[in-house]
Each structure stands twice: as C-alpha cells, then as structure tokens.
Structure 1
C-alpha cells in the first residue's frame, strides 16, 4: 500500500475489528488478541502484504500501542491487596521453582533445535502474563487464598521476566541492557515517591477535581507524558518499551489509579493503539517461514508444552493443578521477544513465529484451566 495516511488507519481499524467479532462467537472462545494477530498475518508478510510494517509511522504507532498495553497490564496487577502481599513468599518460591525447571528445558531445547538461545527459551517458559491470566481470573470470578497466591506468582514472574528478557535475547548486550533496566527502575522509583507526595498533600486530588470540572483529562495527559518519557529512555538505552509501560503501570496502581483515568486508558488502548499493535505484530511475522523451516513448528510446540510443564511444578508445592496451568499463560514476553528479534535480526527466520506459536498454546491451556478451576471452586466461594 502506497504511503501511510488516513486510508491506512481506517484499514487497520477495520482489520482490528476481527478480534472482537471472533470473540462474539461463544463456541469459538477465541481471545481478542488472537483474532487481531491472525488478521494481521492475513494482511501482512504472511498473507497478502497490503500493509508495510517497516513504515516509520506505523512502527511508531505500534510502539505506542505496546507501551500502553503493558501500562494497562501493570495497573491491573493487584499490588495494593494486603492478602496478596501476605502470600508473596510462597508465590516467589513457586516462581523460582518454575524458573529452575524452565532453565533445564531451555538448555535442552536450544541443544535439540541448535539455536543457542537457551537463556531466551528459559525466560519465555518461566514467564507469566498478567494481561491474559488476570482478566480470565476476574471474568470467571475465581477467588480465595490460592487464587490470590497465583495472582502474586503471575505478577512476580511477569515483572522478573520482563526485566530479564533484554539480557536473555542479546547476551552480548547484557551490560547495556542491565544499565538500561536500572535507569528505568531508578526513574520509576522517583516517579513513585513524587506521585505519593502529591497524593498525601492533596495536590493530586485537587488536580483531579479541576480536571473533571473543566473536562481536561489532565491525569491522562500527565500519565502519557510520563509513559512517553520513560519509553524514550527505554529506546535510548536499548530496552523494550514493554518495561517502561509495565513499570509505570505498577507505580500508578501502587499509588491508586482513579476510575476515570482507568476508563480513559482503557478507551485509547483497547479502542485503537492496542489492536493496532497486535495487527502490526501479526503483519510483521513471517509465518510462511515455518513451512520453510518446519523444525521451528516443533520448537513452538515444545515451548508451549514446556511452559505448561514448568508451571505445573507448582503442583508439587501444593498449588492446585488448574491454577498452576493457568499461571503458564504467556503474552507480553514472547511478543516482546518476537518484536525485538524481528526488528534487530536477533532470531533465525521462522523463530519469531515459533515464539508466538508457543504463546498461543499456553493461552489455550490457560483458557481451559480457568474453566476447570471455576468448576472445582466451592459454590460458597462463587
């Protein structure tokens, strides 16, 4: 398609509607993002190639979408829940156990498939996705101490693997990535204390009331300023914008996210930037390479099954098996790995698509595990 203009934006929004349309069919039970990824594949490099994913404007909008998606994910992690914090110890222990098993499986897979990406595969299989698992838990109304504990485990794994990914995907840049992650962490902590100060002295409340009275959306504007500044720092230090978005989301959630801001963020993210990012990602993937390199189909399946096995070790530590399987959900980390690998040529042809295939398998398992956990939940707790 020649040029990037409003005609392209209109097309992308139409393409993004495939996700909600498929979700509206109850028997299919397809997550929205899966429909958006598949639609992107059809119009991108895998399919009819009608959109140019290398266009700077398209890529910038996709990066904004990725940062916003992870920002929203961070705001959904229940960091203020005292019951959840009480179960952090056991959750961390399970996350470490999962990481150990994932490391062993990662070494085996790198050897079998000859890629040399053992550390990357370990991080992928050890990761969890708050963006996938927490909405499923909330939609199914799962509750009780074991559920709160698995929420803590998912948050720990998600945060740890987001930080570890830049180190894992490019070990040669480990020092640079570590410094970049440290810079993001320092800035995030500073933002937290500044926002908490304004919360305690009443400034934030005054700004919120003034903004609401004059319909200025000041909190949204300030959030976007912080998000874009952190994202610029992330790109400058060669760290994924995923880390910037997720960290800021945790900060806003830790201070207390106003409902009005939550609705505004959800509107611009789910209504435009989020779908655009997933369409861009699907369009960027060259799934045909899996046909040319069929061994990577096996890698994708192995990564998906390996993640389920690794998280299944939670059963040995007393965790119900459905909740252990539910914690295996992957999204942000594999997506970031595929994005970075595609942009910088760090992965072999077909390997990015294999990472996404593995993530899709875990999402399928998570959907089934959530339904099983719902059926096993005592009626009094529902």
Structure 2
C-alpha cells in the first residue's frame, strides 16, 4: 500500500484533487447510515492523515490555506444565515435566552477548567467554548413548520448573542495569552474590539448597500464584493489582534441585510458549503492525533465527561429558566434545549484557534486533551441534538397564520371587469411568451385564471437590446417578439379572453418581466418551466430563478403536458401551514374552481430515521387536517377537496407514487439551506426530475 501511495506526486494539485474526492464521496455515505456528513469528513481526515494512510499532511501549505479559508468561511456563513428579522421581532426575549445560554455554560465551563488545574485564562476560554451553539436542528423545525413558534424564534435569535460573545471572549483570552496582562491592555483591547466591530457592522453594511444600489443587477461583482468583505474583515481582525473568525462572523452579520435572500447569498453559501467548509472539517480530522485522542478517552476521560456533562446540563438549565420566565410548555423547553445543544461551527473554529495560540514561552492556550474533548463534545451533541429535536419539535403546534394572505386577499373574490386599457385595480396575469412549444398551454392557463376573475391577461414578449439601439439584431429581435405576441393574442381571442399584449425592449429578460409586472401591478406571473437545472444553473441562475428572486408578486412556473381544460385532479403536497402554503392552496383552488376540478391536499408526516417514537400523535394529525379543512372551506373559491395524511421517511417517493393518479401537482417553491456548513437536500429536486404529470412550482416574491 505504501509503495502505491509513494507513486502519487507530492504537488498542491494532488492534495486539492484528493480533498475534492473526499467531499464528493464521504458525506453521502455517512448520511445513509444516519450520521452527519461532517462526521464523515472528520473521519476521512483521520484516515488520510499522519496516523492513517499519510496521504495528506496537515502542515502542507495548501492544506493549511484551504483549511483556514474554510474556517473563515464557516463563521461567515454562520453570521450570514442568522435571520435578523426574526431576531428583531423578539429582540428582548432572544437576548434573555442568549444571556442565559451564554453565561450558565460559561460559568460551568470555568468551573470544570479550574477543577482540572487550568489557569483563569484557560478556564474562561473553556467556558466560552460551551457558550455558543450551532443550529443543526434548524432543517427539522423548518420542515415541521414551527420556525415561527416563539420558543424556536428566540432560540435562533439567541445565536447572534452567544456567537458574538463567545468569539469576543476568545479574542480577549488569546490576546492575554500572547502578552503581559494588565488592566490597561485589557481596556485597550476592549476599545479596539468595540471600534473594529462598529466599523465592520455599520461600515460594511452601508458600503454594501451603496455598492449593490450602484451596481444594479451585476451579480458577479456583487458576489466578489461579498467575498472581499469577509476576507478584508478577517485581515482587519488580525491588525487589531483579534482572531480571524471574529472578523468573518461580524462580516456575515454586516452584509446579512445587504444580500437578503437574493441570488448572491445563494451563490455565496453554495460555494462555501460545497468546497471550503468541508475542507475545514477534513483539515480538523488531519490534526487529530489518534493515540492522544484515545488517551483522552481513557486516562483523560474525566475531563471529557465533565465538559460534555457541563454542556448538556448548562444548556438545559438555561432553557428551563426561560421556560419558567415566559411560560413555555414541555415540548418547547426540550426543543429549545436540543436546538442550543450542538457545538459545531463556532466551537470547533474557536477551539482550533485557541489550540494554535502559542505564547512566547511555547505554551498553548488550551491543551491537546481539551481539543480532543471538544471534538468528542461535537460528535455527541451533533448526534444527540437533532435526535431530540426530531423527538420534541413535532409536539409543538405551529402558530396559526391568517387564512387569507394579504398579498392574495382578493383571489377568488371576483374583480371588476377590465376596461379598454390595463387597469391596476383588477386581477392581472402576466404571461411571458418566448417558446412557441409552450406558449399555447400557458396562454390557456392564463386565460382560465383571468377569465374566472374577470381580470386582465397580459402576454409579454421581451426584445433583447444591446449597447447600440440601432443594431440590426435588435430589429430582428423586435420582429420575432412581435410575432410571438400576435400568436398569443390570437390564442386569447380563440379562448374568448381579452388580451393586452406588451412588447418590451430590455437588456435582461428576467428584469424585463419583473419590471413590466410591477408597472401593470400584476397579481401573478405565469411562466414556462426551465429545464436547465444543472450545475450551470446553480452557479449562474436561470431566467426563472431571477424572476422568482425579483418579482413583487407570486410566480407560477409551469410544465404543462396537456391542455389545462383536461386537468381534473390536482395534488398539492403540504409540509406545514405557512403564508406561502396558503397561497399555494389558494392558487390550486382558483384553478380548480375555474376548471371544475378537485383538489387533494397531501400531508406527509416525515418519520425521522432517528426518532425515538413509533409514530406521530393521532391528535396532532387530526388538528393539522382540521386546519387544512378550515383553509379550504372558510375562504377562497369553493371546490371539491380531499385531505390525506401519509407517514413515511421519504416524502419524494410518496409524492411521486401519489401523482401517478393525478393530472397536475402544485408544489411550493423553496430554496436549499445549509446546516453545519453542509448542504441539505430538498424534496422538490427529485420530484421535479421524476414527475410524469403536469407540474406547477408556485413561489412567493423573493422565494
């Protein structure tokens, strides 16, 4: 075996190739056996490191660079993913829980450190490692539709306080460890931290908004601006003697409002979760000394056990105190505890930074035993946290949204008859026409909906403009667009619906669509489904992606395999009751009422593979079905409907199996999320790829 590996050239390109292969192959294997993918990356690092096959060297400059970039990127994404809107809504309660879940673990961690002979500085650092948390259970509460529950919201909001505080403690401890401690130096360091944090949080926020405003839709430059911000903040942190990861996290918070939920954020997270963040976890595995790790679990077991117990106990105590203060129930208590338990992103990054901090005497801030104990802590909490979240979060009843979303409050109520010109106070549907193969069915769908609501139907064709408006290519583009509009108008006339064709000259198709929709105050945009869903679309986006991001009104992307008049049975999978879910149901009701069709709502209760229970609570299912029935019967058009609940581990398989007996499936659009730095798959990807009947992907503005 050694002779085989000796044939591999020792070049940076080989190391990079091996890392790519590890990230590609290892996480899916571990996820199939119900283990987090990041655990697989750590194990891969151990096997490929100095205590294994010795293929990768942690001291190699290429490995160190990629690992450092991953560490910085991990903390940046942690700041970028925090929902500042949820934090602002429950600011005071989020700060209360943040203070409790920071101070109690900090004090217990300090106690453990002092009990095992560490100095005050090292003990405070150990306490700070327990104070932060990573929301590994977020995808579970999101899938269950309980993110808007107050207890869940304040737990998510508390992440801001705990992560910032823990990183600031780290910065102070590292500074003290590197030099002579005095009250003057501590005050000076705190002042430097305050000035630096204010400059990053407010300066980068203002600069980002100005840059994004001036660059308009230049996503490439905006993407580079975000990358520049994170690395400038990291370099600036070093200039004021603060750890790089502090600057990266603050940069994430600073540009959070700037990038919003737009495509730039999607691309930034995609790059990080696909490449750099997994590199960091592999690099962590390379640093694990297997003999020392085993020794930590044997001779140093008391320290490891104390750290794990202190973390579990302190996080539970903090959640219990907040439960008493705000009168949350038992399910909310354990959900708060399980969400604040996992120690991954900030904890691992801070532990590595502390381990690598060496003073003039050659002493490390924390010992290898503490680093290994933190890795054990990560493994225990990253497994136990999601298990408990899956156990208790389903018992939380989701908050009740309004039955009629404000943006669609006039759907199904009938509007005034259209006048000879486009009126802004009636139900208006924009139908972009650009593909002769799909135009007829899309116009029929638009005509069905507009006719039912006595609204306006606006066929839209975009003629792409170039730098010179007298370019002959523009004339050809205008002629082609006009021909498409004439065909659309003829189709509308045959269907008995008055159409108001619009021809627009624009340098961007997606922006031309959304600008026209805004100008005519459209209620809905009906588009053909784009087949381009590969890696190129993920990186650069499609027209459909951009319209979803920038439209002011709902967008229905359709892949129609037959005439809309033939669609009599409509299937609507429902994950949870949210405003977007209700909008999706309203759309299905509107079409069914216009076409005298029936609607079936399919609720799939996902039985997690690591759930401790045998099945959902029957009362919970009954309550959920009752809520769906109220939504269908109390508002919107009257249609025949059915509600079915299926318990299964594979929602995509259930949808595909059920869809075989339906004419059309209506899905709500949602984006991919990341958890612990690794991409979480979404059900819609497989359904869209394998579905054999007509499809509508319905999305809210900026979805």
Q: TM-score normalized by structure 1? A: 0.86
Once the two structures are superposed, what CA deviation does each residue of 1:63-93 show, in whole Å capped at 9, x if it has no partner? 1111122222211100023xx3232222222
State the match for 2:353 in structure 1: 340
Give 1:304 deviation, angstroms.
2.4
Once the two structures are superposed, what CA deviation does each residue of 1:279-307 show, in whole Å capped at 9, x if it has no partner? 01111122421333434343233222221
State the match for 2:263 in structure 1: 260
Structure with the bigger percentage of helix:
1
Structure 2: runs of 5 or more not aligned: 1-7, 358-363, 401-575, 577-703
Give 1:328 deviation, angstroms.
1.9
Is the 2:73–2:276 contact (alpha carbons within 8 Å) kept by the matching residues of 1?
yes
Is the 1:46–1:287 contact (alpha carbons within 8 Å) kept by the matching residues of 2?
yes
Quickly say closer, same or farther: Cα 1:40–1:295, change in 2 above 3 A.
same
Once the two structures are superposed, what CA deviation does each residue of 1:223-258 show, in whole Å capped at 9, x if it has no partner? 111222111122343422221221111111123435
Q: Distance in 1 between matches of 2:10 and 2:274?
A: 23
Superposition CA RMSD, Å? 2.5
Give 1:352 deviation, angstroms.
1.1
State the match for 2:215 in structure 1: 207
Is the 2:133–2:162 contact (alpha carbons within 8 Å) kept by the matching residues of 1?
yes
Is the 1:128–1:329 contact (alpha carbons within 8 Å) kept by the matching residues of 2?
yes
Structure with the bigger percentage of strand:
2
Q: Distance in 1 between matches of 2:153 and 2:26?
A: 29
Aligned pair partner of 2:371 in 342, 352, 355: 352
Moved over 6 A (4+): none
Is the 2:97–2:154 contact (alpha carbons within 8 Å) kept by the matching residues of 1?
no
Q: Distance in 1 between matches of 2:118 and 2:255?
A: 39
Structure 1: runs of 5 or more not aligned: none
TM alignment of 1:167-316, pairs within 5 A: 167-168=172-173, 171-173=176-178, 175=186, 178=190, 181-182=193-194, 184-188=196-200, 189-196=202-209, 198=210, 204-209=212-217, 211-212=218-219, 217-293=220-296, 294-313=298-317, 314-316=319-321
Is the 2:259–2:265 contact (alpha carbons within 8 Å) kept by the matching residues of 1?
no
Q: What SS does the aligned partner of 1:350 have?
A: helix
Q: Distance in 2 between matches of 1:100 and 1:206?
A: 43
Is the 1:102–1:126 contact (alpha carbons within 8 Å) kept by the matching residues of 2?
yes
Task: Name whichever of 97-106 and 276-285 sits farther off.
Answer: 97-106
Q: Distance in 2 between matches of 1:44 and 1:238?
A: 31
Task: Name whichever of 66-75 and 137-146 sits farther off.
Answer: 137-146
Task: Name whichever of 172-181 and 10-19 sits farther off.
Answer: 172-181
Aligned pair partner of 1:52 in 46, 57, 77: 57
Q: TM-score normalized by structure 2? A: 0.49
Structure number with the bigger relative contact order (C-alpha 8 A, sep ≥ 6) is 1
Aligned pair partner of 2:21 in 4, 14, 22: 14
Q: Distance in 2 between matches of 1:34 and 1:239?
A: 29
State the match for 1:89 in structure 2: 92
Q: Distance in 2 between matches of 1:311 and 1:87?
A: 20
